[in-house]
């Protein structure tokens, strides 16, 4: 994907994976909007790459439409949207539940992906197509007992990406997910002491996977990222259908 002169927007772009991807997109010639709740950090990264800082709370339903519109107007087009902002739940969600913290994690991890996609699709249509990538996790492909609520939100992201990827493919809009294992970013600080010598990914490892998706990803794919392995699309098993008969046509495009 030739990014020279293209417009891009990255949420959670002020640190970690988001900042690494901002730098990659800018180095490839894209104009990049850096969205983050931390205004000072967003401006720092945006200034570094000559981009646009857009502070805001991505879990607010009004934020993504507003910031997407600002980025499209500033750059003249929008071609790549990386919905990367995320948070851990910090609770088990089994015997205890802090509802405010639960709502916050769902708002950032799930709602923001939906709000961001809904805001991005009209802009990508006006650009003649483009790519939306959402940061999920290996916790979106398997169970992570360490944080069941985080697991739930990332499974939701993967399911949403697979369905929207199929639904929008005919319009030249790719929707994919990147699903890294544990990454050495502030997100794991609350249980960092449990890792010991376990190999961690770097933010640049995940940015490599995002590069791969932009170059050769197909709609609806969820790319795994693990230390020492080449990132690539996860192979989902097919779901058994009913014995006899055929599936309704509306379901044919989802596998």
pLDDT value of residue 7? 98
pLDDT value of residue 247? 67
pLDDT value of residue 251? 61
- 158-172 burial, b at 16+ Cβ within 10 Å, e below that, comes to bebbbebbbebeeee
Distance, CA of 232 to CA of 18 (rounded, Å): 19
**β-pairing, 130-135 with 173-180?**
parallel
Q: Which residues pair with 135 in a beta bridge?
A: 178
pLDDT value of residue 155? 98
Beta strands (DSSP E) in 60-196 are 80-83, 130-135, 173-180
pLDDT value of residue 5? 97
Q: Is 102 a catalytic residue?
A: no
All residues at 6 or more sequence positions from 117 whose CB lies less than 8 Å from its CB, including other chains: 81, 83, 132, 134, 160, 164, 175
Q: Which CATH number fits domain 7-254: 3.40.50.720, 1.10.443.10, 3.20.20.140, 1.10.10.60?
A: 3.40.50.720
Ranges of the chain whose pLDDT falls below 70: 186-198, 245-255
Terminal CA-CA length for the chain: 25
**Of 165, 159, 111, 113, nearest in space to 134 by CA:** 113
Q: What residue segments make up the domains of the chain, in order of their start?
A: 7-254
Chain centre distance of CA 199: 22
Q: Which residues pair with 38 in a beta bridge?
A: none
Q: Which of 150, 160, 190, 234 is catalytic?
A: 150
Distance, CA of 141 to CA of 230 (rounded, Å): 17
Could you give the 3-state DSSP secondary structure of residue 196?
Answer: coil
Q: Which two tokens stand for residue 108?
A: 């950032």
Q: Which two tokens stand for residue 90?
A: 């910090």
How far from 102 is each of 107, 146, 182, CA to CA, in Å? Answer: 8, 15, 21
**Of 73, 8, 100, nearest in space to 46 by CA:** 8
Could you give the 3-state DSSP secondary structure of residue 184?
Answer: coil
Residue pLDDT, tens place only, 45-82 = 999 999 999 999 999 999 999 999 999 999 999 999 99
């Amino acid at each position: 994907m030739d990014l020279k002169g293209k417009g891009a927007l990255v949420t959670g772009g002020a640190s970690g994976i988001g900042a690494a991807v901002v730098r990659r997109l800018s180095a490839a010639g894209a104009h990049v909007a850096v969205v983050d709740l931390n205004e000072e950090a967003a401006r720092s990264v945006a200034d570094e790459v000559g981009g646009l800082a857009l502070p805001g709370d991505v879990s607010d339903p009004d934020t993504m439409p507003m910031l997407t519109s600002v980025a499209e107007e500033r750059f003249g087009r929008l071609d790549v949207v990386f919905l990367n902002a995320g948070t851990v739940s910090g609770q088990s969600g089994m015997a205890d539940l802090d509802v405010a913290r639960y709502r916050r994690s769902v708002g950032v991890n799930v709602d923001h992906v939906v709000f961001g996609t809904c805001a991005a699709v009209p802009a990508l249509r006006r650009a003649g197509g483009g790519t939306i990538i959402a940061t999920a996790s290996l916790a979106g492909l398997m169970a992570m007992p360490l944080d069941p609520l985080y697991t739930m939100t990332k499974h939701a992201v993967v399911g949403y990406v697979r369905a929207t990827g199929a639904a929008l493919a005919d319009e030249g809009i790719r929707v994919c997910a990147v699903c890294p294992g544990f990454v050495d970013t502030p997100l794991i600080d609350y249980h960092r002491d449990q890792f010991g010598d376990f190999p961690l990914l770097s933010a640049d490892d995940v940015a490599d996977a995002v590069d791969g998706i932009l170059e050769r990803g197909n709609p609806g794919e969820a790319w795994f990222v693990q230390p020492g392995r080449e990132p690539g699309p996860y192979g989902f098993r097919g779901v058994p259908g009913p014995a006899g008969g055929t599936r309704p046509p509306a379901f044919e495009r989802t596998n």
